[in-house]
Amino acid sequence: MSADHGHAASTPVPPVKLKVDVKQVFARLEPRCQEIAAKYDRRQAALIPVLNLCQETFGCITPEIEEVVARFIGISVTKVHEVRSFYTLYSTTPLGRHRVQVCRTLSCALLGAEDVIERVGKCLAAMPGTTTPDGRVSFEAVECLGACELAPMMRVDDHFEGPLTPEKAEEIVKKLE
């Protein structure tokens, strides 16, 4: 099954300062952002596609990126921040080569999400909300990903895995290179 955007990223992570010059990189992206914006009657409708492009380019959406996007679209930083925080697709720290998001909401929780989270964390030697030091996997515990029929489940990059046991989850995570 393919993944949709999901919502409500919930693992708190401190904002990071990127090594690249955000304004300079965004200036290079701007022609593509203008093309995107031109497709919509209301410029605000371009917010999500522009954020997607930024996530793809920067690997995350930091407060500084929220600012340049807000200026580009012509809306408040608060509005951009609200939208960015709503979708699990957007990360606030640069991601590893793979992204593992284990759902911890009710349906998944009732069927053992906590054990899955614990096993994945042990296997990666990482806490939810962090990336392994080798940059292999970013690991998160998130709210409902909209695939409750697969509970307990996780999203690995762009696909859903479930129903999981801790053993199955470990097997999947171990194969990520």
What is the distance, to the nearest Å, from the Cα of residue 163 to the centroid of all Cα atoms in its chain?
21
Query: What Å distances lie between residue 127 and 11, 24, 107, CA to CA?
Result: 10, 33, 22
Which span (24-32, 67-75, 98-106, 130-138) binds ligand FES, by CB under 6 A? 98-106
d(CA 162, CA 120) in angstroms, rounded, equals 14
Between vectors from CA 98 to CA 24 and to CA 61, what angle results, nearest 5°?
30
Among positions 36, 108, 120, 124, the unique one binding ligand FES when judged by CB under 6 A: 108
Which span (43-51, 64-72, 99-107, 129-137) binds ligand FES, by CB under 6 A? 99-107
Supply the minimum distance, in Å, between the C-beta of residue 115 and ligand FES: 14
3-class SS of residue 131: strand
d(CA 78, CA 107) in angstroms, rounded, equals 31
Contact between 93 and ligand FES per CB under 6 A: no
Contact between 153 and ligand FES per CB under 6 A: yes
**Could you give the string, one character per residue 43-82, with x where binding to ligand FES holds by CB under 6 A and - elsewhere?**
----------------------------------------
DSSP E strand boundaries for 57-119? 98-103
CB closer to ligand FES, 92 vs 105: 105
What torsion, rounded to 10 degrees, do the Cα atoms 119, 124, 130, 131 define? -150
Contact between 116 and ligand FES per CB under 6 A: no
Please give the residue ranges that form the binding site for ligand FES (CB under 6 A).
103, 105-108, 144-145, 147-148, 151, 153
